[in-house]
Chain A
Amino acid sequence: MTEAAVPRFWREIPQRYNLIGNQCTVCNKIYFPPRESCPYCRRKSMGKMKDVKLSNNGKIVTYTIIYDAPENFEGQAPYPIAIIELDEGPRITAQIVDCKLDDVKIGMRVKATFRKIQEDGYIGAIYYGYKFKPVEVDK
């Protein structure tokens, strides 16, 4: 994906830089990325969605290691990607960094870290956002 205009990425900065989700104040469910309305409370939730900062902490639900990478990620391969369940409930897809490929496991505790995600070709913007790294569990 090349030659994208910057606003497309600029408007997602709160979510991608700071894990800002939102909460339906009718049923208290938390969403990431934020939703315009709650799929369960529907019209009752309109205007009642409140931004929330998620805690950065979660665990790996499942994972893969990407060997055959998209063009903008070729230099990073092989790299692990996981679905992470955040402690507040929402699940997200992100890269796992700062660990060996063999160390990635289902159930592993991870925390969000701010990193460069990709570059839009040679002259396009550089995109940043969240990746996750293992949490050393204190015994």
Chain B
Amino acid sequence: MRDVAIIGIGVTKFGELWDKSFRQLIAEAGAKAIFDSGISGKEIDALFIGSMSAGRFVGQEHVGALVADCAGFSHMHIPATRVESACASGGVALRQGYLAVASGMNDIVVVGGVEKMTDVVESEAINILAMGLDQEWEAFFGVTFPGIYAMIATKHMHDYGTTREQLAQVAVKNHANGALNPNAQFRKAISLESVTKAPMVAYPLGMLDCSPLSDGAAAVVLCAAEKAKKYTQKPVKITGSGQASDMLPLHGRKDICTFEATVHAAKKAYNQAKVEPKDIDVAEVHDCFTIAEILAIEDLGFVKKGEGGKAIDKKITTLGGQIPVNTSGGLKAKGHPIGATGVAQIAEIVMQLRGDAAERQVKDAKIGLAHNVGASGASCAVHIMEAM
């Protein structure tokens, strides 16, 4: 295995982008990443694309070939592979690209992620999102995707005394960060009351505890680390890559309030990178719902199990805090175009480690972590990165 560097990043605006199609979005993100990397394009050995449900959202499968085509690489006949792991599709695609370069099989790989979620009506989008759950033994009985996270929230509040206000503060923090991100879907700070008084989606989670339906794409260019300086002055090395899985339905898990997939993926990534949770300077974690960020900071080891809510109160994870979390605005405010999310998280960490994050820059950020969860925690990818 050899070292792998990220030499280019590209992210589209996230939001309800009615004038942009699935293929326009991924082509735009890919082109931005390639321009950013300094490669000409001819050097690309392979493409990996994360997409959860192009088939259901835009009626299009065969996404690998489609992306190679619309990005203008068909005449090069390079391999293009679509990767699916529900909401972790992007993070798992990144890991596949990482493995392709680390193994020595490829020198330069582009990893993209994309989802176009607003070409279907909202009720259909709700059905599609529930497909990341256990269709036969959860969704069949009427539980929604927010409903599953709501059951985690109920249990966390019951077992650890986490409060409604602590959940809401996650949304307040991430919207404040999103206001500083030009690509975010929501660029507006919100008040605690607006979260707690928002219409109920699934008790105890309201509308503003949930990430939105979004369109968007992101891409990164990976390169063998020894060749990275040939293309860019600011390569970022992937020092740890972990992936894990768990029982598909939430009710099958050992502990409702722990995502073992996160715990195991993080352990592998920390071990490989030879770092501990306390060494992380900045993290993008999977906050599809406010409770998800509380679980994430516990399962990643930033705080002890059960203390995620209190950590929000202590502002540990706020910009300027001990370990700023979701400086991009997170899925909550930046938006959550499913397949794009895991790749966009990587792009945010790269910006932070390059010192290019402008108003939301974490001072002296040296080590960053990205955490991408599939649906209700049945899959997870964790990546740790360091500036070279």
Contacts and interface: CB of A to CB of B under 8 A. Distances in A.
Contacts of A127: 140
Contacts of B152: 62
A91 B151 CA distance: 14
Q: Interface of chain B, helix or strand or loop or mixed?
A: helix
Given A70-B130, A91-B252, A117-B142, A106 B154 contact: yes
> Which of A70, A78, A117, A118 is the most central at the interface, judged by chain B CB atoms within 10 Å of its CB?
A70
Contacts of A82: 151
A65 B155 CA distance: 13
B18 interface: no
A12 B136 contact: yes
A76 B256 CA distance: 26
Interface stretch (B195-203, B211-219, B293-301): B195-203
Given A62-B256, A83-B151, A68 B201 contact: yes
B249 to A, nearest CB: 7
Contacts of A71: 123-124, 126-127
Given A81-B151, A83-B151, A68 B126 contact: yes
Contacts of B205: 64
Interface string B140-173: 1111101100111111001000000000000000
A79 B150 CA distance: 13
Interface stretch (A22-30, A40-48, A92-100): A92-100
Nearest to B128: A1
A24 B203 CA distance: 37
B144 A93 contact: no
Given A70-B123, A106-B158, A64 B203 contact: yes
B92 interface: no
Contacts of A118: 140, 142
Nearest to A67: B200
Contact of A95 (B137, B141, B150, B203): B141
A13 interface: no
Contacts of B147: 64, 66, 81
A129 interface: yes
Contacts, number: 100
Given A63-B151, A71-B123, A81-B151, A91 B142 contact: no
Contacts of A95: 141-142
B249 A93 contact: yes
A73 B137 CA distance: 16
Given A70-B123, A79-B142, A93 B250 contact: yes
Interface string B331-358: 0000000000000000000000000000
Contact of A73 (B142, B153, B256): B142
A35 to B, nearest CB: 11
A61 B254 CA distance: 12
A65 B201 CA distance: 8
A33 B123 CA distance: 28
B138 interface: yes
Contact of B142 (A1, A12, A66, A67): A66
B256 A83 contact: yes
A64 B251 contact: no
B159 to A, nearest CB: 9
A72 B139 CA distance: 11
Contacts of A91: 251-252
Given A81-B151, A83-B151, A65 B202 contact: yes
A126 interface: no
Contact of B251 (A73, A76, A92, A106): A92
Interface of B: 123-124, 126-127, 130, 135-144, 146-147, 150-155, 158, 199-205, 249-252, 256
The 8 closest A-B pairs by CB, nearest first: A64-B150, A62-B155, A65-B203, A91-B251, A67-B200, A83-B251, A73-B142, A68-B201
Interface of A: 1, 12, 33, 61-73, 76, 78-79, 81-83, 91-95, 106, 117-118, 127, 129, 131
23 contacts: A33-B137, A62-B158, A64-B147, A64-B203, A66-B144, A66-B147, A67-B203, A68-B202, A70-B142, A71-B123, A71-B124, A71-B126, A79-B142, A81-B142, A81-B147, A82-B151, A83-B256, A91-B252, A93-B143, A95-B141, A106-B154, A106-B155, A118-B140
Given A70-B127, A71-B127, A81-B151, 6 more contacts: A62-B151, A62-B152, A64-B147, A72-B142, A76-B142, A129-B141
